[in-house]
Structure 1
Amino acid sequence: MIYFSIMKTTISAKIKLQTTPEHFTALRATQLAYREALNAVSHYAFTQGKISNAKKLHNGMYAEIRTHFGLPSQMACTVSRQVSATYKGLWTKVKHNATQRKAGLTKKRYKGLDKAPKYVSPTLTYQYGYDYSFKKNQRVSVLTLNGRMVVPYTGYDTHVALIQKGADIGGAKLWYDKPRKQFYLLVSLEIEVADPTPQTQTSVVGVDVGVRYLAVTSDTTGACSFHSGKQIVPKANHYARLRKRLQKKGTRSATRKLVIISGRERRLKHNANHVVSKRIVTQYPHSLIGLENLTDIRERTRRRKGKNTTKKQRKANATYSKWSFAELHTMIAYKALMQNSMAIKVDAHYTSQACPRCGHTAPENRPKKGLLFVCKHCQYTLHADLVGARNLTMRTLLARQDWASTGHLCAPREAQ
């Protein structure tokens, strides 16, 4: 008999607020005041020695936030915490850059703290139970500069059901879609899922990501699937080129056009990652899914950089740095838990150069770095991306065997 323990995972629910003109005006004014308060606290932190201590920021700016910007007390506290988190993140990058420069890994100095960080997005953060709460009949009460107001909402049926019953509700972000002039509430939901064990993970799957094919999967039975980026990547590149031309032009009409198409490339990639990740986890329920550990992948795969870089090399570097592989990994990880699966990170070194049959590893196994893999030792021939997926499957299988024998999972789990 298999016993299941319970663990929790966090998902984000996007609900659409059905606002009246009065609601719209109040929410927009609150957003803009919140952004101005963030920038004021950021400037204060910078002038006080780039401090990142939330308590010091709160003591120094709380009164001004309340009186000058008119924010409610809980929002004023949230502003200080958000600025504190921003500065802590920047200080972490500064220290990491200093370590790399000292080790001779880079000559560039990180400039993120050369001036006070500026907040451009008006998205504000709500705390559940203090700034917002849900009512009956699909209504939500949100806090504004003029007090609380109750607004009807709609959303994905599954998310609405979780909100109404069965999920622990956390913080939320009030996001404004400027082109559509629509407000959304991005709600954090914590739900219970079965904690995976070696006994519940009945199959092992490797997932190789790339640009030609966004994902290629393979399991221990030899079954595989290809998720092509043929229809998506050219569109994303078109939006990127269009945005670059408009930014270079810089006229008022170009700026208006940029506002209209803003986020189009990002949403296209985001949707593609959602579709691919859902297909993968649905295809392989109750599976241990091996994902490539892509830490510093851009530095490892960069062709060449510097003044002597050719146009072709620059284009290749740009192409492979555009797609958000980390986002795809994260989506696979949290969706896998919904299917009683689990995603882990495995070593990605030489997965496209190693022969899955004899183990011979050499760059020559991939002629001209193309899509054909031909082992120089045993002449094993296969699609190069599928070779990578099969190598990841074998490394994931080793991690599962260690997990079953020792009771401890040596490979790190994918961040949720």
Structure 2
Amino acid sequence: MQTVVTAKLKLNTTPEQFKALRTTQLAYRDSLNYVSQYAFAHGKMSNAVRLQDATYEEIRLRFHLPSQMACSVPRQVGASYKTLWTKVKNNAVHRKEGKTKKRYKGLDKAPKFISPTLTYQYKKDYTFKKEQQVSILTLEGRVIVPYTGYNKHVALIQRGAEIGASKLWYDKPKKQFYLLVSLEIETADPTPETHKQVAGVDVGMRYLAVTATMQGDCTFHSGKQIVPKANHSARLRKRLQKKGTRSATRRLVAISGRERRLKQNTNHVVSKRIVLQHPQSLIGLEHLTDIRERTKRRKGKNAKQRKANRTFSKWSFAELHSMIAYKALLHRSMAIKVDANSTSQACPKCGHTCKENRPNKGLLFVCQNCQYTLHADLVGARNIAMRTLLIRQDWIGTGLLSVRAFCVGR
């Protein structure tokens, strides 16, 4: 079974190499916007082959990109348009079913690529050399740059791990280039015999994650110290956006990076704790796709309602799920997605499900049928654990994971 991890390599460039990489990066971004405008003008085209046939020569002439990069640009734009078309179609279905009244506007104008992140293909645009050096293609030819990184990732690269595409990422505040390399690692294929335990993970804001097992064990990972910092960043960002000066814009960039690092570090810590607590287990995660369309949100324009909507939409739960998934595979466990419908409203004892089971939508769960009382987030985690157990039992009987379960990380 293949597991994909991303190695973040710091490039130690000279001033000449820095200039060459930056020029290449900006030319790549300009070519993305050119192809995006072309695709929008020709029926919002998402076919990468047709885009490449129509724009390849112009990309080479106008932006002077090497051949492989000129092929990567239409593929990236085509993939972006396919994603937008999928969102448009899903939005149409949700509007027809009455789940939302909002029309998705992602294709009302041509998508604009702002980030200068550049995609490289292994053995075509970049290759690794001896003594921790990497050869990278630029508009002026190849440059050989020394790199540093996490020791385990560097060891995987040097031992001949299967290397995929990479991204050249520029940290603007630090004026530093990083190469984000995808590595495929071989892990043992999971079986019901190797994954005898199950655990459920419920995510939220009061508690970033709550885990529960069928043996009654539970763990709460609080967001008490993190959420106030995120709220402070939101208030500060609002004031700076209102001010609108150049110095305010620079502060916004710094705040954005700090908040992103805070969330990423927190998700890393929480996911690592969860995986280490449940070795050789089947870890159930909520299937949160289209959760904003499937749940009723507060409506209105007063400060309390805006704060509630911001609170529920700002934390990166998908990132936390992805970190749990790949760390689980590295520790001989596996994460799967289960149905998230009514996990915090269904009684784990008698199965009675209704909104009244959570008085005032608070942290207390009180079953209106059997009066079973428990912490609401723990109820959600236990329900997820039971649904994960059902999938494991079906796995034992059929030898295949149920089609209802989505295996993360495969």
**Normalised TM-score (structure 2):** 0.94
Greater Cα offset, 373-382 or 33-42 = 373-382
The Cα shift of 1:99 comes to 3.4
2:92 paired with 1:98: yes
Are 1:208 and 1:292, in contact at CA under 8 Å, matched by a contact in 2?
A: yes
Aligned length: 408
Q: Kindly state the Cα deviation for residue 211 of structure 1 after the two structures are TM-superposed.
A: 0.3
1:278-314 Cα shifts (integer Å, max 9, x gaps): 1111111100011112233223443332xx5654333
Q: What's the secondary structure of 1:117's corresponding residue?
A: coil
Q: Equivalents in 1 of 2:104, 2:354: separation in Å?
A: 36
Identify if the C-alpha distance between structure 1 residues 241 and 137 changes in structure 2 by more than 3 Å, giving closer, same or farther: same
1:366 aligns with 2:358: yes
Determine which of 3, 8, 24 is the counterpart of 1:14.
8
Describe the SS at the equivalent of 2:30: helix
Alpha-carbon distance between aligned partners in 2 of 1:109 and 1:294, rounded to the nearest angstrom: 20
Provide closer, same or farther for how the CA distance between residues 89 and 295 of structure 1 changes in structure 2, counting only shifts above 3 A: closer
Residue 229 of structure 1, CA deviation: 0.6
Partner of 2:207: 213
SS in 1 for 2:242: helix
Matched to 1:341, the amino acid is S
Partner of 2:377: 385
Deviates more, 1:320-329 or 1:358-367: 358-367
For residues 158 and 211 of structure 1, the distance between their equivalents in structure 2, rounded to whole angstroms, comes to 33
Matched, 1:412 2:405: yes
* Corresponding residue of 2:315: 323
Corresponding residue of 1:277: 271
1:5-404 matches, within 5 Å, as: 7-305=1-299, 308=300, 311-404=303-396
- After TM superposition, give the deviation of residue 243 of structure 1 in Å: 1.6
Q: Deviations over 1:174-220 (max 9, x none)?
A: 00000011100000111101111110002110111110110011112
Residues 99-108 or 147-156, more deviating? 99-108
Instruction: Give the AA of the match of 2:406.
Output: R
In terms of mean alpha carbon deviation, does 260-269 or 146-155 score higher? 260-269
SS in 2 for 1:277: helix
Distance 1:277 1:186, change over 3 A: same
In structure 2, do the counterparts of structure 1 residues 234 and 146 end up closer, same or farther at CA, with 3 Å as the change threshold?
Answer: same
CA shift for structure 1 position 48 = 2.4
Query: Aligned-pair distance for 1:340?
Result: 1.1
Q: State percent identity of aligned pairs.
A: 74
Give the C-alpha shift of residue 227 in structure 1: 0.7
- Tell me which amino acid in the other structure corresponds to 2:173: P
Q: What's the RMSD between the two structures over aligned residues?
A: 1.8
**Offset of 1:134 from its aligned partner?**
0.5
Identify unmatched segments of 5+ residues in structure 2: none
Please tell me whether the aligned partners of residues 365 and 373 of structure 1 are also in contact (alpha carbons under 8 angstroms). yes
Contact 1:208–1:291 (CA under 8 A) maintained in structure 2: yes
Q: 2:313 corresponds to which letter in structure 1?
A: S
Cα 1:343/1:316, change in 2 over 3 Å: same
Deviations along 1:10-61, whole A, 9 cap, x unmatched? 1111111111111111111110111111111112222223222222222222
- Change in 2 beyond 3 A, CA 1:49/1:362: closer
Letter in 1 for 2:107: L
1:314-338: CA deviation from partner (whole Å, max 9, x where unpaired):
3222211111212211111111111
Instruction: Answer yes or no: is the 8 Å Cα contact 1:139–1:153 preserved in 2.
Output: yes
8 A Cα contact 1:353 1:361, kept in partner: yes
- Consecutive unaligned residues of structure 1, counting only runs of 5 or more, are 1-6
TM-score between both structures, scaled by the size of structure 1: 0.93
| CA contact 2:338–2:406 (8 Å) conserved in 1 | no
Letter in 2 for 1:225: T
Secondary structure at the aligned position of 1:264 is classed as helix
Q: Larger deviation: 359-368 or 192-201?
A: 359-368
Partner Cα separation in structure 2 for residue 197 and residue 205 of structure 1: 16
Letter in 1 for 2:392: R
User: Which amino acid is the alignment partner of residue 142 of structure 2?
Assistant: R
Comparing 143-152 with 373-382, greater Cα deviation is found at: 373-382
Amino acid at match of 1:363: K
Tell me how far apart the structure 1 counterparts of residues 178 and 160 of structure 2 sit (CA, whole Å).
22
